[in-house]
Amino acid sequence: MIIGIAGLGLIGGSLAKSYKRHEGYTIYGFDADSSTVGIAKLYGAIDGELDEKTVSLCDCIFVCLYPEAAMEYIRKIAPAVRKNAVVIDCCGTKRQVCEVGFETAKEHGFLFVGGHPMAGTHNSGFVSSTAELFDGACMIIVPPAFDDIYMLDRIKHILTPAGFAHVSVTTAESHDEVIAFTSQMAHVVSNGYIKSPTAREHKGFSAGSYKDLTRVAWLNPVMWAQLFIENKDNLTKELDMFINAMTQYRQAIADEDFDRLRDLLEEGRRLKEEVDGNDHGNR
């Protein structure tokens, strides 16, 4: 199978390395930074450059670029993508890129599927990519149709060698609504939390709770700013609910209202147990 990968950062680089673990895969790669392409060749992660000529050879092309660049790239390569090839984006939001992808694929005769790998680290770039990043992970896909079993099986067949253990199928709208809570909110809260002046004095006073809450404050500002703005309706809704909750905690603490504060904390504890079960620890 011939795989093309546009964007050789953490996700794209890891995809290249993961497929290269298996025989029978030829990998072509593109990156806006030509030196990254050279490094990927030297590493053995790719066999050559993904360009207009090699795009036409690919059975599947992963687009691992920021959302705006991904949409532009899909439009650009569309005339060269061979009929019935598969193009899968790996962006963190789905509505806009899927709209462009589905429309472009229909016009040019290839299959576009929205994708979002549920794996990553706070590090970025090809240097941080690993062949094992997706082992056991879930890949969320947004297909153009939900009743085409052959197509869904084909996508699963493509993804499995990269290490994905699960494939979840959803709509672009549902994806963006849920991801605003499970991923984007966590990054906003973590990034805001670390801005306290007290953060500079935490050494010797912090343990697991601090590390858990601040891990994703170390993010890629350009990428996440694009994702937040593209999903602003869902993210601002989640932020409004969070700010309202924090206001209630603050007021109960300021008023020394023990009963109210206890009830708020119990409500949160109970909801956590309902959502995630008994797998918890006190920190």
Indicate the residue among 170, 198, 227 that finishes a domain.
170
Asked whether residue 162 falls in the same domain as residue 189, the answer is no
Place 252 in a pLDDT band, splitting at 50, 70 and 90: very high
Total structural domains within the chain: 2
Containing domain of residue 179, as a range?
A: 175-276
Secondary structure of residue 37 in the 3-state scheme:
helix
Indicate the residue among 145, 170, 195 that finishes a domain.
170
The tokens for 183 are 């991923």
Asked whether residue 17 falls in the same domain as residue 65, the answer is yes
DSSP state, residue 123? -
Evaluate whether residue 69 is within a structural domain. Answer: yes
Mean pLDDT of 43-53: 96
Asked whether residue 139 falls in the same domain as residue 193, the answer is no
Asked whether residue 252 falls in the same domain as residue 150, the answer is no
Evaluate whether residue 283 is within a structural domain. Answer: no
Asked whether residue 129 falls in the same domain as residue 269, the answer is no
What pLDDT, in 10s, does the model give residues 114-143? Answer: 999 999 777 789 999 999 999 999 999 999
Evaluate whether residue 117 is within a structural domain. Answer: yes
What pLDDT, in 10s, does the model give residues 186-224? Answer: 999 999 999 999 888 887 676 788 888 888 888 889 999
What pLDDT, in 10s, does the model give residues 254-272? Answer: 999 999 999 999 999 999 9
CA–CA dist 118, 208 (Å, integer): 23
pTM: 0.89
Secondary structure of residue 250 in the 3-state scheme:
helix
Give the start-end residues of each E strand in the chain: 2-6, 26-30, 48-49, 60-63, 86-89, 111-117, 138-142, 166-169
What torsion, rounded to 10 degrees, do the Cα atoms 202, 204, 205, 206 define? 80
- Report whether pLDDT(4) > 90: yes
The domain that holds 203 is classified in CATH as 1.10.3660.10
Asked whether residue 151 falls in the same domain as residue 76, the answer is yes
